[in-house]
Structures are given as C-alpha cells and as structure tokens.
C-alpha cells in the first residue's frame, strides 16, 4: 500500500472504508473529486481500496468580504445558508430580503464571508391600532422574521397596542 505524506498544512489523512469512492469522499468533505485525485497522485480514481490512506486536501480560505450567489431552482435560504455555512439572518440582512420565504431562481444574493456583517442599528416602534408584524416590517423594509426573532415573539399574531417592538 502506498503511503502519502502531505506537506505541512496541506491536508489530513483519511482511511478509505469499504464502499467508499473518490466522489463520495469528496462530497463528504465538500471538495471536488479532482482535488483528492491530485493530492494523492491517483492514476485511476476508480481504484481505491478499504484501508488505503488518502490525503484530504484543505481548501484555501474563502476570500475576505462578501461573494455573490445566483439562486438555483429549488433553492431556499435554509439550503443556501447551509451551503455557505452562514446564518440565514446574515443573508437576509445583507440582502434586505423582505420575505425570506420568497426567493426566485436567477436572483443574485450577496453571501457574507469572513467577518460577520455589522448589524444595522436597532430602533423601537410602538404598536398602533391595526398594526401587524407584517405591516410594521414592510414599513421599515425589514423581514417579519427579523422582528419576530429580535422580539422573541412566540405568536406574531398576538401583538397589542402600546407594545414596544425592537426593529432591526
């Protein structure tokens, strides 16, 4: 069995398990299969065996500052946040998304990376007769979800006149 020793800081060892494939291992670690093939000088990526030690390369850190992402069919903010390991709230805030349940394929989103975005200043609002969380959110151009979570509202339909809400 060939032993692969990576240069310092290049990756970490992984012992191939029965049934593993280069593609499956790459997917598990969020890498393109070619990265594993190149890091291990595999002549035939279809021929790996249980017990073999592969080096899983580490990817370079993401560039500082936000990146852009084009929403794909079937995407939602939850999936996008998992993909980029960014809180949904950060994506909502930086894109000023009013309705987090509605994003469309082809829409371009800014994805914050590195340092979390600086949250906008918090304001307060006193609930008036006829107000709803959704109406207040529209008035301040924030998401209802942002108001609900900032104020720990268990039931957003139960707000009352005179109640002070924090607005992100």
Residue 59: its pLDDT value, please?
Answer: 64
Q: Name the residue with tokens 């939850």.
A: 78
> In this structure, are 106 and 131 located in the same domain?
no
Terminal-to-terminal C-alpha distance of the chain: 58
- pTM: predicted TM-score of the whole model, two decimal places: 0.35
Residue 63: its pLDDT value, please?
Answer: 59
Does the residue 163 lie in any domain? yes
Identify which of 122, 120, 72, 63 has the alpha carbon closest to the alpha carbon of residue 93: 120
Residue 87: its pLDDT value, please?
Answer: 83
Residue 10: its pLDDT value, please?
Answer: 65
Burial of 60 (0-12, 13-18, 19+ CB in 10 A): exposed
Does the residue 148 lie in any domain? yes
* Longest CA–CA separation in the chain, Å: 76
Query: Domain count of the chain?
Result: 3
Does the residue 4 lie in any domain? no
Residue 5: its pLDDT value, please?
Answer: 43
* Domain CATH number, residue 20: 3.10.350.10
Dihedrals phi, psi of 54, to nearest 5 degrees: -110, 150
Residue 150: its pLDDT value, please?
Answer: 78
Residue pLDDT tens, the chain, 168 long: 444 444 445 678 888 888 899 988 888 887 888 889 998 999 998 999 888 988 888 866 555 667 899 999 989 888 888 888 888 888 888 898 888 888 999 999 999 876 454 445 678 899 999 999 999 999 998 888 888 877 888 899 999 999 999 887
- Do the beta carbons of residue 12 and residue 58 sit within 8 Å? yes
- Do the beta carbons of residue 143 and residue 137 sit within 8 Å? yes
Angstrom CA distances, 147 to 13, 48, 61, 76, 133, stand at: 46, 52, 33, 20, 7
> In this structure, are 31 and 51 located in the same domain?
yes
Residue 60: its pLDDT value, please?
Answer: 61
* Host domain of residue 43: 11-57
Residue 6: its pLDDT value, please?
Answer: 43
């Amino acid at each position: 069995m060939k032993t692969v020793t990576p240069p310092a800081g290049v990756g970490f060892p992984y012992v191939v398990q029965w049934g593993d494939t280069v593609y499956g291992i790459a997917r598990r670690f969020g890498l393109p299969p070619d990265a594993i093939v190149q890091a291990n000088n595999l002549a035939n990526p279809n021929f790996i065996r249980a017990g073999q030690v592969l080096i899983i390369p580490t990817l370079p850190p993401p560039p500082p500052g936000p990146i852009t992402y084009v929403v794909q069919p079937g995407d939602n903010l939850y999936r996008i946040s998992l993909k980029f390991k960014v809180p949904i709230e950060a994506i909502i805030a930086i894109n000023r998304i009013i309705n987090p349940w509605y994003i469309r394929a082809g829409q371009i989103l800014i994805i914050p990376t590195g340092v979390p975005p600086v949250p906008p200043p918090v304001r307060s609002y006193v609930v008036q007769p006829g107000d709803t969380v959704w109406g207040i959110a529209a008035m301040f151009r924030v998401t209802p979800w942002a108001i609900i979570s900032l104020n720990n509202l268990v039931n957003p339909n139960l707000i009352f006149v005179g109640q002070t809400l924090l607005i992100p």
